[in-house]
Chain A
Amino acid sequence: MKKIIALLVVLMMVLAACGPGAAPAPAPAAPQAPAEGQADPAPADGGDLTFAIITKSAGNPFMERMASGFETAAAAMGINAVVQHPVDTTAEAQITVINSLVAQGVDGIAVAANDPNALESALQAARDQGITIVTLDSDTAGSSMFVNQAGVFEVAQVLVDSAYDMSGGSGQFAVLSATSVATNQNAWIAAMEEIIAGDSRYANLEWVTTVFGDDELQRSFDETQSLLINFPELRVIVAPTTVGIMAAAQVVMQQGSDVLVAGLGLPSEMVGLVGDDLPCPYMYLWNPIELGEVAAYALNAFKQGDTTGDVGQSFTAPNGNTFTVIAAAPEVGIVNAQIIVGLPFRFDGDNIAEWALVY
């Protein structure tokens, strides 16, 4: 035992000499390839491509399905796919992931940005290495193309129309959003304001307030209950977030209130809440699987030279659909040229059970 201790002491002395003290700099100098790095060229083309998708955060069913669509489409094209979920819903966590993907030397990255500006320099560094970048779900500066799930104004329009229709054309409605920094929700809300202000049809709709449920069940419950108490005349709650709409519908159902809930929700989470005599008569969403697939197609189109991302070009995806690149829409936060995957899809009592099996 003594010998072992002695050995340990010697070892520690050696380490103590270089380690602790005033300034231990445990910087592992890279002995192998110090000069390389910046000059790392894009890997030679020829079939062996790797595409990566960065979601907004882990544990969100919408994002998980988007990633699975991306993986499937890439696999079908014979491309390796990497799925990276950042640890938090922050730009910071995404930058860390981007850095790691750059170090791995992937060929293309599709990212659902958590911040419209913060990723720019990290993405620029990736492009300098020959990596193609597209954004999906939420756009950010520094990308070559935005794969738009559904136009911002189209989404806002169906939300406003839901409120109009469910309230019977007049009365109070409120918006229950996600966090106050959620870029998509903010864009939709801004577009809703514009639509309502611009059309006299909606003159009798009164938008009483916008509250934030932070995409947490407890907070969303609290906020919904407060809405019901503070606005006894409330007719409709519009929740353009999957957690919010579920919480709002639950509260309305549990309290037996006759307020109706509209918004964007995942069918698999909303079975039993969507239907004719239920709190949410109908809701909208788009197919996250398809969104992920199209992002993979778009990356491949860049790599194969089918598109350069310029407005007016079009390319045909392996699934037979043709996408045309249209101009950016900076006023709603879309800073890159975009392709639009589809229109918001309506779920109601008749089709929800069927779609719940899909996503």
Chain B
Amino acid sequence: MSVGLRKILRSREFSLFLVLVVLCIVIQSRNPQFLTATVIDSILRNYSYTILMATGMLMVLLVGGIDISVGSTLALSGMTSALLMRHGVIESAFLAYMVSLGVGILCGLMVGLVITKGKVLPIIASLGFMYVFRGMTFFISGGQWVGMQHLLPEFRAFSQGAALGISNLLWITIVVYILVFIMLGWTRTGRQIYAVGSNPEAAMVSGIRSDNIKLFVYAFNGALAGISGAMFVGFYASAQNNSAMGLELDIIAACVIGGVSLKGGQGTIPGVLLGALMIAVINRSLSLTGIDPFWQQALKGAVILIAVTTNILVQRRATRLSLARREI
């Protein structure tokens, strides 16, 4: 066995992958239609923005922060472009996406500025902004929704459409994953992000401007939430005030399941991808198993607990094995 392969087999990601495979097998045994193109496509479509936003949260967690305002940012940015479409200001799908992106970046920058310049703990700042952004969504929409009739057909068509058999939303997600993967692994910014999170003092001594890095990370996270806002509105063809409430918990859970440390400096893109897929599969598939709807929530909680604890057990065993081997 080559060293590389052995390393992969021992990695946290691999054990997580095993847990995911087992989960899929269990669901497949309950419903043979689970592993078909239709269902897989629907999982990836419905959860494309959850999977997407997990990368932003990964970077935030890497620098030792947290951002629980992302669900509100999504709602605010989606509502903004939807309202502008209703009033005829935005006349192209591209512009709608750009407006949402812009709003998202602004939101992220605000959170980042308060955290870096105001020296406020990330959870406090983002908790405050969670309320503020959500309230603003209600405020600008006047408590109303923006329905399908007011959204540009082109905008809906793009968000619901597909290219080369893969949904457009998934394409966005794939591109972002590749970008972030490259950035974290092979660029200076990427290394600095890890440095800031794993050892802030050392990072400071080595001349990294950690405030700038953090600001960038929060803005990037906001940007992803912003794009997701447009994706959400286009896909569901409706902008509502209470969209994506509680989404932040799903996203943080995806990251943590994927092995990202809440203390900063630790976490990888493949891990987050697996964690996000796990959340998507759990959320989406319970209704496929034909289990009584009143059992589903309890089961979802149990599955999350079992998944994270099993992963730890597999992980411990792997560590023990490699230690034993080293002794020989």
Contacts and interface: CB of A to CB of B under 8 A. Distances in A.
A touches B (Cβ under 8 A): yes
* Interface size range on A against B: 20 to 34
B242 to A, nearest CB: 5
B287 A222 contact: yes
Interface stretch (A19-27, A58-66, A281-289, A305-313): A58-66
Interface in B219-247: 232, 236-238, 240-245
Interface stretch (A43-51, A101-109, A265-273): A265-273
A221 B46 contact: yes
Nearest to A177: B293
B138 interface: yes
A38 interface: no
Nearest to A223: B287
Given A222-B283, A222-B287, A247-B236, A271 B147 contact: yes
A34 B146 CA distance: 48
Interface string B142-164: 11110111000000000010000
A272 B144 CA distance: 18
Contacts of B145: 61, 269
A59 B149 contact: no
Nearest to A65: B144
Nearest to A209: B293
A200 B142 CA distance: 47
Interface residues of B, number: 33
A173 B238 CA distance: 25
A144 B202 CA distance: 70
Given A211-B293, A269-B145, A59 B242 contact: yes
Interface in A43-98: 58-61, 64, 85
B288 interface: yes
B241 A58 contact: yes
A269 B149 CA distance: 7
Contact of A58 (B39, B46, B143, B160): B143
Where chain A touches its partner, the secondary structure class is: helix
A270 B143 contact: no
B42 interface: yes
A211 B143 contact: no
Interface string A258-277: 00000000101111110000
A119 interface: no
Contacts of B232: 217
A212 interface: yes
Interface in B81-103: none
A17 interface: no
Nearest to A218: B46
A225 interface: yes
Nearest to A55: B143
B241 to A, nearest CB: 4
Given A59-B240, A211-B293, A230-B288, A225 B149 contact: no
A212 B141 CA distance: 27
A319 interface: no
Interface string B273-300: 0000000000110011010011000000
Contact of A61 (B144, B149, B287): B144
A247 B147 CA distance: 12
B172 to A, nearest CB: 17
B148 A226 contact: no
Contact of B288 (A180, A229, A246): A229
A170 B31 CA distance: 26
B236 A221 contact: yes
Interface in B18-43: 31, 33, 38-39, 42
The 10 A-B pairs with the shortest beta carbon distances in the complex, nearest first, are A59-B241, A226-B287, A271-B149, A269-B147, A217-B236, A64-B143, A272-B148, A225-B42, A59-B143, A226-B288
